[in-house]
Amino acid sequence: MRAIGNVLRHDYYAVEPPVLWDVVNVRLPELRPVIARMIEDLSGGIN
């Protein structure tokens, strides 16, 4: 995931719009529950 930031900042001309669309609309939403669990684990269950 970190690498996409470098691509968007420095190699944006190489990004294919359909791939970016897939990342934003499919891949990121899939990660939401994983990230929420990670945050909960790090905070000791305190929200």
Looking at residue 1, its pLDDT comes to: 61
pLDDT at 13: 85
DSSP-based helix, strand, coil % in the chain, nearest 5: 80, 0, 20
Residue for token pair 């791939």 = 19
Q: Give the model's pLDDT for residue 41.
A: 94
Q: Tell me the mean pLDDT per 10 residues along the chain, length 47.
A: 77 87 90 92 79
CA 3 – CA 10 distance, rounded (Å): 11
Tokens of 15: 């990004």
pLDDT of residue 44: 86
What pLDDT is attached to residue 40?
93
Question: In a 10 Å sphere around its CB, with 0-12 CB exposed, 13-18 middle and 19+ buried, how is residue 12 labelled?
Answer: exposed
